């Protein structure tokens, strides 16, 4: 089992930056994929960035590519999301999620991930 704790959310103006952290504890060596999800008010949770833990391969959805960067520090059991040039439509609750089941690709599907953090709110004002 893996426990996840996010931090780093807050309120910023459009064009600003934030860095989210997701600290993992427990059976962290078993982690295969880690994904950042977000949930806007009234919308479903959507995945937008993933990292394959073993080799560090990343994917960013077109909606965030070039502005957001997912990364990891395996020595610290921590995942990061650097968010630059934030826009009002980035306002959402942000969640990190991890799964330990073997797979070749980290799909951005919430049902594929069994360990979740509690979320951290990001609010971007215009």
Write the pLDDT tens digit of every residue in 56-110: 999 999 999 999 999 999 999 999 999 999 999 999 999 999 999 989 999 999 9
Predicted confidence band of residue 22 (pLDDT cuts 50, 70, 90): very high
Q: What is the DSSP string of 5-52?
A: EEE--EEEETT--EEEEEEEEESGGG--EEEEEEE-TTS-EEEEEEEE
Percent of the chain having pLDDT more than 90?
96
Q: Which of 28-32, 50-54, 92-96 has the lowest mean pLDDT?
A: 28-32
């Amino acid at each position: 089992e893996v426990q996840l704790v996010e931090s780093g959310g807050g309120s910023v103006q459009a064009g600003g930056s934030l860095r989210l952290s997701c600290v993992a504890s427990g059976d962290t060596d078993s982690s295969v994929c880690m994904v950042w999800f977000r949930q806007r008010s009234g919308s479903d949770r959507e995945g937008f960035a993933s990292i394959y833990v073993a080799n560090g391969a990343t994917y960013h959805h077109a909606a965030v590519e070039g502005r957001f960067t997912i990364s990891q520090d395996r020595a610290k059991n921590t995942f990061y999301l650097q968010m630059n040039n934030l826009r009002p439509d980035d306002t959402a609750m942000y969640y990190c999620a991890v799964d330990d089941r073997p797979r070749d690709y980290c799909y951005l599907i919430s049902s594929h991930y069994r360990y979740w953090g509690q979320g951290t709110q990001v609010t971007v004002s215009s």
